[in-house]
Chain A
Amino acid sequence: MNMFPPHNQHDAGPDRLREALSQLPEHAPDSETWSRIHARAVSRRRSRRRLRRILPLAAAASLLLALGMPVLHDATSPDRAPLQTQTHVSTPMQNPATAHTAMPTVATLQHRSMRMEQWLSELRTHGAPLQGIALARAVDLQDRIGLVDLQLSAPGDTPARKALWQQRVNLLQDLAMLRVSQSPVSDQRAMAESRSAAIQL
Chain B
Amino acid sequence: MNPNSTFRQDLPDTLIDRFRAGDLDAFEQIYRRFERPAFTLALRLTGQRESAQEVLQDAMLKAFERVGQFRGDAPFWGWLRRLVINEALMLLRKRGRFEDAPFEEDAFADHAPAPWIHADAPTLERALAELPDTARAVLWLYHVEGYTHVEIAEQFGRTVSFSKSQVARGTQRLRELLQPEPGYSPCLINAAGNAS
Partner-B contacts on A (CB < 8 A)? 1-5, 7, 9, 11-14, 16-18, 20-30, 33-34, 36-38, 40-42, 44-45
Q: With A34-B31, A40-B61, A41-B64 as given contacts, are A3 and B24 in contact (CB-CB < 8 Å)?
A: no
A7: nearest chain-B partner, CB-CB: B114
Interface of B is mostly: helix
How many Å lie between the Cα of A190 and that of B171 in the bound state?
61
User: Could you tell me which residues of chain B, from 105 to 150, have a CB within 8 Å of some CB in chain A?
Assistant: 108-119, 121, 124-125, 128, 139-140, 143-144
**A28 B24 Cβ-Cβ under 8 A:** no
Q: With A16-B117, A23-B4, A34-B35 as given contacts, are A2 and B185 in contact (CB-CB < 8 Å)?
A: yes
**A17 B2 Cβ-Cβ under 8 A:** no
**B116 A16 Cβ-Cβ under 8 A:** yes
Q: Given A4-B118, A28-B36, 7 more contacts at CB 8 Å? A: A2-B182, A21-B124, A21-B140, A23-B121, A27-B52, A37-B60, A38-B27
Of the listed residues A2, A11, A22, A27, the one surrounded by the most CB atoms of chain B closer than 10 A to its CB is: A27
A-B contact pairs, 19 of them (CB 8 A): A4-B180, A9-B110, A12-B111, A12-B112, A13-B114, A14-B143, A17-B116, A17-B143, A17-B171, A21-B139, A21-B143, A24-B121, A24-B128, A28-B36, A29-B36, A34-B31, A38-B28, A41-B24, A44-B61
Tell me how far the C-beta of B24 lies from the nearest C-beta in chain A, rounded to whole angstroms.
7
Which B residues lie within 8 Å of A9 (CB)? 110
Q: Which listed residue (A26, A37, A42, A45) contacts B37, Cβ 8 A?
A: A26
Which A residues lie within 8 Å of B187 (CB)? 3-5
Which B residues lie within 8 Å of A1 (CB)? 185
In this complex, how many residues of chain B approach chain A with their Cβ under 8 Å: the count is: 56
B108: nearest chain-A partner, CB-CB: A14
Q: Which listed residue (A3, A14, A41) contacts B185, Cβ 8 A?
A: A3
Tell me how far the C-beta of A198 lies from the nearest C-beta in chain B, rounded to whole angstroms.
36
Closest 4 CB pairs of A and B: A3-B187, A3-B185, A20-B116, A29-B39
**A3 B188 Cβ-Cβ under 8 A:** yes
**A33 B40 Cβ-Cβ under 8 A:** no
A23: nearest chain-B partner, CB-CB: B4
Which A residues lie within 8 Å of B140 (CB)? 21
